[in-house]
Amino acid sequence: MASLRDIVTSASINLLSAFGFLMAFAILRIQPFNDRVYFPRWYKKGTRSSPTRSGAYASKFVNLDCRTYLNFLNWMPAALRMPEPELIDHAGLDSVAYIRIYLLGLKIFVPLAVLSFMVLVPVNWIGDTLERAKDLNFSNIDKLSISNVPDGSKGFWAHIVMSYVFSFWTFYVLYSEYKVLATMRADYLASETRRPDQFTVLVRNIPPDPDESVSEHVQHFFCVNHPDHYLTHQIVYNANKLASLVSKKRDFQNWYIYYQNKFERTSKRPLTKTGFMGLWGTKVDAIDHYTSQIQKLNEEEAVERERVKKDPDAIVPAAFVSFKSRWAAAVCAQTQLCRNPTLWLTEWAPEPRDVYWDNFAIPYFELTIRRLIIAVALFFLIFFFMIPIAFVQSLANIEGIQKVFPFLKPLIRIESVKSVIQGFLPGIVLKIFLAVLPQILMTMSKIEGYPSISALDRKSAAKYHMFILVNIFLGSIITGSALQQLKTFIDLPPTEIPKTIGVYIPMKANFFITYIMVDGWAGVAAEILRLVPLVLFHLKNTFLVKTEQDRYEAMEPGSIDFPVGEPRIQLYILLGLVYAPITPFLLPFIIIFLAFAYVVFRNQVINVYDPKYESAAAFWPDVHKRVVIGLFISQLLLLGLLSTKKIGRNHFALLPLPVLTIWFFMYCKGRFESGFIRFPLQEAMVKDTLERATEPQFNLKAYLKDAYMHPVFKSSDVEKSDFTFEEEKSPLVATTRVATKLSPDVHSSSPVQSDA
């Protein structure tokens, strides 16, 4: 079991690592040649110019002002200075809502930490259970936990009462934040400038018609069913292969520019190999090779463009349908259009940059099958990942390392090495295991077929949260305790096993403390350093950049990594809620992480990140739900733990808490969630009325014409759209459909009979 010395060693290592990252950041950020790395957001907005364009030659690359080096932490107050309304205008509501998750954690845990150290820590400390126990490894930190309170003690009433206090305070903070975010979202949508997605609905699973193309069928349907409001539409093409060719050509063009620049510098024709990544194969002239490859791809691209344009099978049964007003779009997006609820499915269109085009070619029935398969695959991924988690937990103590690696015994006997291994190694090994997981989960979400990047992020975050909950939290407690004390369990009678588990579960706080320091303190400091984008920018600037536009495109501002970041915050919130009444010593480590991360990500949002999309905080119901899940788990675990403490039926006093938590979640869901899913018709009508009064001559159709065109068509010479004309006055719709007497089944897919 990790001792106080081990915790101090780990804290020292991680504090020094964080301080080193901060010092490196403080120096690198003020160098003129790094300006585009640490302030790309302002370059993207066009409000910042490069400091390398003016001044003395040396000052264009190196900051010669010594005073700026002394104030190396001045970025922190600068990050906190921008007011929240201004930050929303600058970075969007999604970024502000994400930052507020850290603030939510601080609002919960700062009062909890104060109360825990005032009430529970003294109760835990005066106990003597651990000192009287035989053959039990423990440290002074463990004496601060509930495990040190004697069985049958009335001191457990302090934990029961404080559990109610903690729960009700968490209810209050969650409700307040949900209310604030709901108001912020409503205000943001009401004040938001005109965007294509406000007038557009995504229609999927359009039924086939034997006499009309998909485009004609869509126009016919909406001209009849929304005759006064339908404006135009854009059909969706399956251009995945074309997009792949365009992406491949872009990569070849980058290599061509690299070798061309190299030739201009050295006056020597560069060579490359024709094999994979230029690692093997025949040596050829690099410039000629990539010129021929680009020409070949140009020809393939032209053929594929023509095929997509003319092949009916390249048209997907989906379309972006635009209306003359926000009110009409809201009505269409939030109602059932057809007798058959599986046809003409509508939802709010994502904003154009949020569309994930690769998933539109998936049929509706196939979507259901894919999601079932992924659900099964996710179950097995979570289950089988317990094996490496169990192995990592076996390394959380010296005895486990000696059993697995006996040749390391002489080295482990050194006291300093022992402290480093126990205080630092388990957390870092676990983090390496988790490094590849987000990409796997994102791939699984893409296979499920969600049509927007924001939906993919939310679904990936949900999977990652489930994985963390089962493997990192429950897995670390169960496998860590069971494997660590396996011999003890075997020797104990069955009736004593629950009591032993109750003693050892609180002691896993030591492992989580080390993990918080490795993943949290040093990890957040590494985030602000941006080492990988720094190296990539200078490599591109050296080998690929020829113009200012090239230098602009070389910037990698990135964006908030929601699928990874949000579940990670939820893990820390879960740990805090679970261990607040059990081992309060863990809370300060979480508070330090949350406060540090809040400042760091505020800086990143202000100066660095360029958001991939804007969903107006649509993810907040998920955030709220996961915090409630963490609170529910903490109540059940405390109830189970107290049931082993021989306090009679007193532990049943906690039974109302899980019930109250479920009721609280359902109340908040009914009170707030609809505001994050639907758009009020009243708000839509207000915005439409104001817009008609201020801009009566605005050409909305021209504004929406190319908004939802596949990106590969926007810069091509191919005919860009398949818009058809609209009949605004006549209730009869021109159609090529053959007049027939439609059966009820046909009515469900083509509800309007032609008058032709």
β-strand partners of 285: 271
Q: What pLDDT, on the 0 to 100 scale, is given for residue 746? A: 38
Q: What pLDDT, on the 0 to 100 scale, is given for residue 286? A: 84
pLDDT at 560 over 60: yes
pLDDT at 206 over 70: yes
- What kind and span of H or E run contains 126? none
Question: Does residue 543 contact residue 258 with C-beta atoms inside 8 Å?
Answer: yes
Q: What pLDDT, on the 0 to 100 scale, is given for residue 396? A: 53
Q: Which long-range contacts (CB under 8 A, 24 or more apart) does 529-532 make?
A: 529/21, 529/24, 529/25, 529/28, 530/25, 530/37, 530/38, 530/608
Q: What pLDDT, on the 0 to 100 scale, is given for residue 212? A: 86
- What kind and span of H or E run contains 204? strand 200-204
Q: What pLDDT, on the 0 to 100 scale, is given for residue 596? A: 92
Q: How far apart are CA 375 and CA 445, in angstroms?
A: 10
Output the average pLDDT for the chain.
81
Helix segments in 116-239, DSSP class H: 121-125, 129-132, 156-191, 214-225
pLDDT at 739 over 50: no
Of 64 and 611, the one with more pLDDT: 611
Here the tokens at position 631 are: 């609170």
Q: What pLDDT, on the 0 to 100 scale, is given for residue 553? A: 77
Q: How far apart are CA 551 and CA 553, in angstroms?
A: 5
Q: Picking from 395-409, 489-503, 551-565, which range would have the lowest pLDDT averaged per residue?
A: 489-503
Q: What pLDDT, on the 0 to 100 scale, is given for residue 656? A: 93
Q: What pLDDT, on the 0 to 100 scale, is given for residue 726? A: 39
Q: What pLDDT, on the 0 to 100 scale, is given for residue 398? A: 61
Q: What pLDDT, on the 0 to 100 scale, is given for residue 418? A: 66
Q: What pLDDT, on the 0 to 100 scale, is given for residue 591? A: 94
Q: What pLDDT, on the 0 to 100 scale, is given for residue 728? A: 40
pLDDT at 376 over 60: yes
pLDDT at 498 over 80: no
Residue with tokens 């205080």: 423
Which DSSP symbol is given to 195? -
Q: How far apart are CA 549 and CA 11, in angstroms?
A: 45
Residue 391 has φ and ψ, to the nearest 5°, of -65, -40
3-state secondary structure of 113: helix
Which DSSP symbol is given to 22? H
Of 12, 62, 5, nearest to 422 by C-alpha is: 5
- pLDDT digits 0-9 by tens, 275-326: 766 667 778 888 888 899 899 988 888 888 888 888 888 888 899 999 999 9
**Position 300: which residue type?**
E
Of 662, 479, 476, nearest to 575 by C-alpha is: 476
- pLDDT digits 0-9 by tens, 669-715: 999 999 998 888 998 999 999 999 999 899 999 999 889 988 888 75
Rounded to a whole number of angstroms, the distance between the first and last alpha carbons of the chain is 84
For strands 230-237 and 345-348, give the pairing.
Answer: unpaired
Q: Picking from 231-245, 465-479, 729-743, which range would have the lowest pLDDT averaged per residue?
A: 729-743
Q: What pLDDT, on the 0 to 100 scale, is given for residue 436? A: 80
Of 145, 146, 148, 144, nearest to 130 by C-alpha is: 148
3-state secondary structure of 294: helix
Q: What pLDDT, on the 0 to 100 scale, is given for residue 717? A: 44
% of the chain at pLDDT higher than 70: 78
Residue 432 CB contacts under 8 Å (≥ 6 apart), including other chains = none
Helices 681-694/156-191 angle, 10° precision:
30
How many CB atoms neighbour CB 756 within 10 A? 11
Average pLDDT of the segment spanning 161-182: 95
pLDDT at 192 over 50: yes
Of 239 and 748, the one with more pLDDT: 239
- The 3-state secondary structure of 502-538 reads HHHCHHHHHHHHHHHHHHHHHHHHHHHHCHHHHHHHH
Q: What pLDDT, on the 0 to 100 scale, is given for residue 2? A: 55
Of 665 and 2, the one with more pLDDT: 665
Q: How confident is the model at residue 34 (pLDDT cuts 50, 70, 90)?
A: confident
Q: What pLDDT, on the 0 to 100 scale, is given for residue 576? A: 93
Question: Does residue 138 contact residue 584 with C-beta atoms inside 8 Å?
Answer: no
Residue with tokens 């160098």: 31
Sheet strand arrangement including 200-204: 230-237, 315-323, 200-204, 345-348
Question: Does residue 293 contact residue 306 with C-beta atoms inside 8 Å?
Answer: no
Q: Picking from 221-225, 294-298, 740-744, which range would have the lowest pLDDT averaged per residue?
A: 740-744
Which DSSP symbol is given to 118? I
Q: How far apart are CA 246 and CA 357, in angstroms?
A: 14
Average pLDDT of the segment spanning 263-282: 77
Q: Picking from 48-57, 100-109, 689-698, which range would have the lowest pLDDT averaged per residue?
A: 48-57
Q: What pLDDT, on the 0 to 100 scale, is given for residue 547? A: 65
Average pLDDT of the segment spanning 440-449: 93
- What kind and span of H or E run contains 367? helix 364-384
Q: How far apart are CA 746 and CA 740, in angstroms?
A: 10
Q: Picking from 10-24, 193-207, 415-429, which range would have the lowest pLDDT averaged per residue?
A: 415-429
Question: Does residue 201 contact residue 707 with C-beta atoms inside 8 Å?
Answer: no
Average pLDDT of the segment spanning 179-198: 90
Q: How far apart are CA 431 and CA 442, in angstroms?
A: 18
Q: How far apart are CA 179 and CA 121, in angstroms?
A: 34
Question: Does residue 47 contact residue 566 with C-beta atoms inside 8 Å?
Answer: no
Q: How confident is the model at residue 17 (pLDDT cuts 50, 70, 90)?
A: confident
**Position 225: which residue type?**
N
Q: Picking from 38-47, 420-429, 606-615, which range would have the lowest pLDDT averaged per residue?
A: 420-429
Q: What pLDDT, on the 0 to 100 scale, is given for residue 222? A: 93
Q: How far apart are CA 605 and CA 99, in angstroms?
A: 9
Q: How confident is the model at residue 722 (pLDDT cuts 50, 70, 90)?
A: very low
For 487-502, give the DSSP string: HHHHHS-GGGHHHHHH
Q: How confident is the model at residue 263 (pLDDT cuts 50, 70, 90)?
A: confident
Q: Which long-range contacts (CB under 8 A, 24 or more apart) does 588-592 make?
A: 588/113, 589/513, 589/516, 589/517, 589/520, 590/105, 590/109, 590/516, 590/520, 591/106, 591/109, 591/110, 591/113, 592/520, 592/521
Q: How confident is the model at residue 492 (pLDDT cuts 50, 70, 90)?
A: low
Q: What pLDDT, on the 0 to 100 scale, is given for residue 743? A: 38
Q: What pLDDT, on the 0 to 100 scale, is given for residue 715? A: 57
- What kind and span of H or E run contains 203? strand 200-204
- pLDDT digits 0-9 by tens, 457-489: 999 999 999 998 887 787 777 654 444 444 555
Residue 382 CB contacts under 8 Å (≥ 6 apart), including other chains = 466, 467, 470, 471
Q: What pLDDT, on the 0 to 100 scale, is given for residue 330? A: 93
How many CB atoms neighbour CB 640 within 10 A? 15
Question: Does residue 313 contact residue 361 with C-beta atoms inside 8 Å?
Answer: no
- pLDDT digits 0-9 by tens, 514-543: 888 877 787 888 888 888 888 888 888 887
3-state secondary structure of 363: coil
Residue 573's alpha-carbon distances to 163, 360, 432, in angstroms, are 15, 37, 22
Q: How confident is the model at residue 10 (pLDDT cuts 50, 70, 90)?
A: confident
Instruction: Give the angle 743-748-753 at the CA atoms, nearest 5°.
Output: 60
Q: What pLDDT, on the 0 to 100 scale, is given for residue 521? A: 80
Q: How confident is the model at residue 372 (pLDDT cuts 50, 70, 90)?
A: very high
Residues 671/673/675/680 CA torsion (nearest 10 deg)? -80
Q: What pLDDT, on the 0 to 100 scale, is given for residue 51? A: 67
Residue 341 CB contacts under 8 Å (≥ 6 apart), including other chains = none
Q: What is the Cα gyration radius of the chain?
A: 30
How many CB atoms neighbour CB 229 within 10 A? 17
pLDDT at 747 over 50: no
For 429-490, give the DSSP string: HHHHHHHSHHHHHHHHHHHHT-SBHHHHHHHHHHHHHHHIIIIIIIHHHHHHHHHHTHHHHH
Residue with tokens 């080390």: 514
- What kind and span of H or E run contains 271? strand 271-273
- pLDDT digits 0-9 by tens, 328-352: 999 999 999 989 988 999 999 999 9
Residue 363's alpha-carbon distances to 207, 360, 450, in angstroms, are 11, 8, 12
